[in-house]
Chain A
């Protein structure tokens, strides 16, 4: 390929490179740097090196946030995948017209504001809301359950918001699956369950991993869902980071928590691509 040529092109390149450096690389590096500095009293940060911020994460308070947030995110991902897998599988196995309609119906919530969608859940979950009215009419319960402003509501909200993000990658990996392999396994005498467990599941695992990545990390960060549905009782890592910056004014600790979140994400991504390379999975589209 050619080297950069022409004054106009060089000018454009300079603008792009400066923008990406100034507004992406530099601020990210600043967060990394601040996570190793001390908390200042007149300013936000004092230029004294310390690893205190990382040690502080192991304090009981932050460890608890870290663990409860990870637990919530894991459970959310797991539920999303469990609900999404059969849906994506059936959808990828239906005829073209049904696929187009089904995919469009999944894309619409994918693109609508997750704030609006979480807000829409309030009317469903509140004490005299639709879920309770339905359950009472069906005779399943006598008095309304209180779901809104509990951990359950946060969980439902997370799954509700993130479900499309789990369906799409699984759908594309099931779609890439060759039908011949399935027929071969059945011809060779596998039961339906065996061919699912031995053939389909391993081959669609990149999609499942994609679904995990696209649901787990947002679930750690989406602080407005517990704010709206959980009465802010459940602490999400994202909310803890936000509070360090905007309320406690402890930038170094907030930065250390952000670095940890980002680092965890990149480690999992690296692990994911390492696994992918090893199994030489069929290429999936649209799942990044």
Chain B
């Protein structure tokens, strides 16, 4: 019985991992079109780094992910803190909006933002992507940070205010330092979400600012390309490193 369990779990994991493993393996393959292994080579990686166009798009995506992750983390932290400390005007409306944002399909968020941007005459490019990415990251960051807020004693803030701290200082001197691990893991979460997003970006990006997932999408619609294998392997590696780091952070949070 125990053996049967292991076989079953092993085969599910194989199902999940073999395609990824083969993708990474064949990014090092010498051959261009063949699915046979013809020897180790780094040629696709060299080719990748010589592709000026692709490098530019990669930098676009990285910059978009860094900026939207940073802004949505700050935004969500502020929102979580306000919710935690005060009874807010229109509180249930805000909660409802956050909940809808979390639950609504990406596709619907994408088209509704597209309609808004066209209506207000905002050109589709970096700014439209930034607004969209910040927005879809907010509920995930909010949940991560709000969970951490639960274990926070609000009387510390009262003490700080009584001792003469300004409201601004309560953020910079108390709240942000205490929330640091949660802020970091929210940031990494948002970074990954932004780097990987296809559906929302599909609607709100324009030719002036191309992003990597859409570039990959248009490249692979007609089959397998070895340099895309190399690119995807690098992206997988990046996700893995970020996951590992955020895991370490969460664990260190428990030890405190």
Contacts and interface: CB of A to CB of B under 8 A. Distances in A.
Nearest to A119: B220
B228 A28 contact: no
Contact of B8 (A19, A87, A129): A87
A221 interface: yes
A21 B17 CA distance: 41
B16 A109 contact: yes
Contact of A123 (B8, B23, B108, B221): B23
Interface stretch (B47-55, B94-102, B179-187): B94-102
Contact of B16 (A3, A163, A261): A163
A78 B86 CA distance: 44
B224 A123 contact: yes
A117 B78 CA distance: 35
Given A117-B19, A123-B19, A28 B224 contact: no
Nearest to B240: A108
Interface string B58-97: 0000000000000000010011001001111110011001
A174 to B, nearest CB: 13
| Residue in B105, B109, B118 with the greatest tally of chain A CB atoms within 10 Å | B105
A112 B196 contact: yes
Given A115-B196, A221-B106, A5 B86 contact: yes
A241 to B, nearest CB: 6
Nearest to B193: A111
B100 A28 contact: yes
Contacts of B112: 27-28, 30-31, 258
Interface in B11-48: 12-13, 15-20, 22-23, 26, 35
Interface in A1-55: 1-9, 12-13, 15-17, 19-28, 30-31, 34, 44
Given A130-B22, A221-B107, A224-B199, 8 more contacts: A28-B112, A112-B239, A115-B216, A120-B22, A120-B23, A120-B232, A238-B199, A262-B105
Interface of B: 5, 8-9, 12-13, 15-20, 22-23, 26, 35, 75, 78-79, 82, 85-90, 93-94, 97-98, 100-109, 111-116, 118-119, 131, 135, 138, 143, 166-168, 192, 195-196, 198-199, 202-203, 213, 216-217, 220-221, 223-224, 228, 232, 235-236, 239-240, 243, 247
Interface of A: 1-9, 12-13, 15-17, 19-28, 30-31, 34, 44, 83, 86-87, 90-91, 102, 104-109, 111-117, 119-124, 126, 128-130, 133, 160, 163-164, 217-218, 220-224, 227-228, 238, 241-242, 245-246, 251, 254-255, 258, 261-262, 265-266, 269, 288
12 contacts: A4-B82, A13-B88, A20-B101, A30-B119, A31-B115, A102-B9, A105-B13, A116-B236, A117-B19, A130-B22, A258-B108, A262-B108
